[in-house]
Structure formats: structure tokens, C-alpha cells
Amino acid sequence: MKSECRLCNRRFCRIALVVVLLAVVYLALRFTRDTPVTYADATEHFKYGSTGGERDAGIPVALWNVLPDLFAKYLPGQGLASLGFIFETNRAFPIGVSERNVQGVDRVFLNCAVCHVGTVRDTPASPRRIIIGMPANNMDLQSFERFLFAAARDEDFYSTRLVDEIAKRKSDDLLNRLLFRYYAVDVARQRLITLAQRFSFMDREPDTGPGRVDTFNPPKVLLNFRMDTLPTNEWVGNCDLTSIWNQGKRQGMRLHWDGNNDSVEERNRSAAYGTGATPPTIDRASVQRMKDYIWTNTPPPWPYGIDSAKSARGGKIYDQYCAKCHGKSGSDFTGEYVGKVTPIEKIGTDRHRLDSYTEQLCANQNLLYAAYPAERFSHFRKTFGYANQPLDGLWLRGPYLHNGSVPTLRELLEAAANRRATFYRGYDVIDRERVGFISDVPEENEKKYFLFDTQLPGNGNAGHEGEEYGTNLSAEEKDAVVEFLKTF
């Protein structure tokens, strides 16, 4: 015993003790680290800020960086941009990807902007403009998921292979490389393979293509619904990404495409949980900044000139037929039925998205997070139609209807039989005549666009037809209505 005490009194032992203590403190600090990359500017914060999703769901940055190179064969073109991710100059990550250091590892995950920021070009040769709050018209999230799943199943996705690749880029220190080699890569792989199995339901539906997702089947997976026994009428939940301008003016309206929630606050919060955050991990202050931003953010005006006489004629027709459901204008959302739900029998549009949201899912959502009273949902309802929404920024919201099945506004004013049965999505040049995106371009600079087929389940382009919906107007009157809608 005594000899041990003497040993400890020796100088080198004391130093060793200090070193060990410092190491413990360092490791404790390192492994309890939780620091997001932050942005002072509100717009930048919306594009790149963290919702907290990286804490649980984050992908190590080192891994994120090597995957597109190592598994390029699973991408449709060059890098992640080929999936529709928007890269700005001088940014490490594309729009919609946020970064946070969790337990010493830099991690990334997706935020609101990946689905709610899009691009537009005036002509094929023009630079693209990035518009915050418009639907992410180019973003093909389903193909991104399939890319990750395919990579995880590939025999090259094993730790030494990936760690060698990571080491080549010197993007992480020794400790993290050890962590990747002996732990993180295998865990990531396992997680992705489990997710791939649980998300195999999406192979039963037609591909979403860019600018669309299935909103309410993924929450069923997360709530442990048996997806294999789901009734067939719930299988297809594909719908367009929405614009999210002027949220403050939407308070109290039944929105989401089917009007299943009338609280903007809950719509935001449920969306944040969709970005990988949960009540214990959500970054409330950061998400609040995003909510504040979209509360007042407005769409840019139509930039190509408007024939004011024609627009005035269209305005009168709009007033007579449309205003009661869609509001007086692009900024005045008053109207008897605005924010209410038109029954499916009356609106007659494709019912798949409506049917994919069920009483059972609604009941389960309202039961979630019992341990977090402030986080509970109480505004979800099962509805029986689609919501009458304000039409702000309409020129940037094509293709139209909840499933994006009608390429232009002018065609929405035609009976379904006269709307195009197939067209291309993902091209971002504006169609100034018919209003919407030009949708007959299959390919550009080796980028292939997505052929949308209105015959497939969930893609039907019928409905919103008849007297009340303007399809019986004369061609001249329809042109005038479209001219007026450019002012929105």
C-alpha cells in the first residue's frame, strides 16, 4: 500500500494525473457539444439554419461529402445538384441543408428550405433566381432517399472503404476517424437499411418526380402503422410541395391541401418534426426565427409586364366566380369560403391525397407527445375535400392543383379533356403565355426532366371544372382571367 502512495507522489505521476483529467474534461466537452452553425441574416437562416434535426437524424458531414462521389452510379447526373439540390457559391452545402456539431461530430440534416425554396429563369439562357417560400420545383427528394438507400445496400458501403475516402480529404480528425471506422459508418448503414425497408411502401406508388412528396404516409411509418396491410386507397399520398408566403394572413384557415389543420403554428411544428426534430431535440429558438420569417415573407411580383385593360376585364370575372373561394387578390385574402374545405364530390379533383390522410392517423397525431403538453397537436382533423386557398405568388406555383397535374393556369381554365395528358416537370423557365413553367422540354444540357403522366394513380388531372370554376368562359375571357392572375 505504502509503495503505491509513494508512487503517486512522484512528479511524473502527478503530471499523468493532470493529463488524464484534461483528457476527461476534453472528451466530456467534446461529447456533450451541441452547437449549430448559425446565421445572423433571417433569409440565410431560413435557407441554412438548423431545426435540431441533426441531433438525432444527422448525417456526419464527412460521410455526406464522400457519398455522391463514391456512389455516383446511383445519381441521375453530376453530384447532388442532379437531384435538384440548389447550390449557391461560397457555401459548403446546398440550400435546405443545415449543420450542427453534435458530440464532436459535424452533422447535417434537411430543413424547411429543401422543400420550400425554388428557382425560376426568365429564358433558358438566363441565370436562375432563387425564390424563398416558393415550392421546391426542382427537388426530387424521393430520388435522394433512393440514392441513400442504394448506397447503404452497396457492398462498397463499409467502414474501411469509407474511412479511407474520408481520410483522403482530411475532413476529420483522428478521433472521429476512429469513431467512423469502428462505429458510425456501421450505424449509419444499419439505419439506412432499416429506413429503406420501412419506406418500401413508396415503391407501390408512382414516382413523385421533382417538386412533389408523399406527405402523410411517412408519418404512418414513424408511428409504426403496419404499412403492408394499409388499405389500397391509402397507398398514394403524392402531392405538390406548397408555397409558404404570407403565413400570418393564413391564421385560422384550414390548410394543407386537404385542410386537415387550421393552426399555422401546428402546421409549422408538424413540419419541423418532419425535418428529423422531436420534442426533446427540436431547436425552438431557431424554428421560431423561421416561423417569424415566413409569417410576413411575400412572393415577388410577376416581372414581365401586364396588359392592364385585359387584366381589369379578367378581374371582374375573377370577382364574380373565384374570389369567394380564393380571396379578393394576391394580398387580400378575404372571401366567404377562403380557408374552408370544398367537398371532394364538388371539386372533383384526384382523391388519392385526400384518402391517404385518415381518421386513424389524425387520432394518433393528436395523441403524440403526451409527455410534452406544450408540444401536443390538437388541430388535426380528417376532412372530406380540398382547401380553398389564397393564390399569392400563383405564377411561381405551377404545375397546378394539389397533385401538380395541370401544367399551366390557362389549362386549368379548360375542361379536363383539353388539359395535357402528359408533360414534363422540373424545368424552371416561365411560360409567359399560359402562366406556369414551360413543360414540353424533355432534356436540357444532358439533364432529363420528369415525364408526368396524368393516367397514373394520384396524378389525375380532372376536376375544378364547370361554370363556377371558369371552364365555360369564352377563350377571350379565360385569357383575361389569366392576365389578372399575373397580378397575384
**Grid cell at residue 483:** 392576365
Least Å from the CB of residue 193 to ligand HEC = 21
Answer yes or no whether residue 112 interacts with ligand HEC by CB under 6 A: yes
Query: Given the complex with ligand HEC, which of 184 and 264 has the nearer CB atom?
Result: 264
Which among 224, 221, 228, 260 has a CA at the least distance from the CA of 242? 260
Measured between alpha carbons, how far is 77 from 232 in angstroms, rounded to an integer? 34
Reading the block at residue 455, the C-alpha cell is: 393516367
User: Which residue from 137, 143, 342, 383 is in contact with ligand HEC, where contact means CB under 6 A?
Assistant: 342
Q: Tell me which of 66, 120, 412, 429 binds ligand HEC, using CB under 6 A.
A: 412
Q: Does 46 bind ligand HEC (CB under 6 A)?
A: no
Residue with smaller CB distance to ligand HEC, 176 or 342: 342
- CB count in 10 Å sphere of residue 424: 22
Q: Cβ of residue 79: shortest distance to ligand HEC, in angstroms?
A: 20
Does residue 84 contact residue 138 with C-beta atoms inside 8 Å?
yes
Judged by CB under 6 A, the residue of 61, 62, 110, 162 near ligand HEC is 110
| Under rule CB under 6 A, residue 256 binds ligand HEC | yes
- Report the candidate in 336, 116, 357, 400 with the shortest Cα–Cα distance to residue 258: 357
244 sits near ligand HEC (criterion: CB under 6 A): yes
Q: Does 263 bind ligand HEC (CB under 6 A)?
A: no
How far is 339 from 255, CA to CA, in rounded Å?
A: 6
Distance between CA atoms of 200 and 22, rounded to whole angstroms? 48
**Applying CB under 6 A, which of residues 257, 302, 333, 380 lies at the interface with ligand HEC?**
257
CB 241 within 8 A of CB 212: yes
C-alpha cell at 3: 509503495
Gap between the Cα atoms of 212 and 215, Å rounded: 9
**Residue 98 interacts with ligand HEC (CB under 6 A): yes or no:** no
Using CB under 6 A as the binding rule, the residues of this chain from 466 to 485 that contact ligand HEC are 468-470, 481
Nearest approach, Cβ of residue 333 and ligand HEC (Å): 11
CB-count exposure of residue 40 (10 Å: 0-12, 13-18, 19+): exposed
Among 217, 238, 242, 461, binds ligand HEC (CB under 6 A): 242
Among 352, 402, 434, 486, binds ligand HEC (CB under 6 A): 402
Q: Does position 267 bind ligand HEC by CB under 6 A?
A: yes
Toward ligand HEC, which CB reaches closer, 71 or 144? 144
Q: Which of residues 377-396 bind ligand HEC (CB under 6 A)?
A: 386, 388-389, 391, 394
- Report cis status (omega within 30 of 0) of the bond before 399: yes
* Residue found under cell 402546421: 267
Q: How many CA atoms lie within 13 A of 1 on its CB side?
A: 0
Locate 92 and state its grid cell: 459548403
Contact between 290 and ligand HEC per CB under 6 A? yes
C-alpha cell at 398: 405551377
Is 4 or 345 the residue whose CB approaches ligand HEC more closely? 345
Q: Is 278 in the site for ligand HEC (CB under 6 A)?
A: no
Residue number, 60 or 219, with CB nearest to ligand HEC: 219
**Distance (Å, whole) CA 192 – CA 153:** 9
Contact footprint for ligand HEC (CB under 6 A): 51, 110-112, 114-116, 141, 213, 215, 239, 241-242, 244, 247, 255-257, 264, 267-268, 271-272, 274-275, 287, 290, 321-322, 325-326, 337, 342, 347, 349, 386, 388-389, 391, 394, 397, 400-402, 409, 412, 464, 468-470, 481
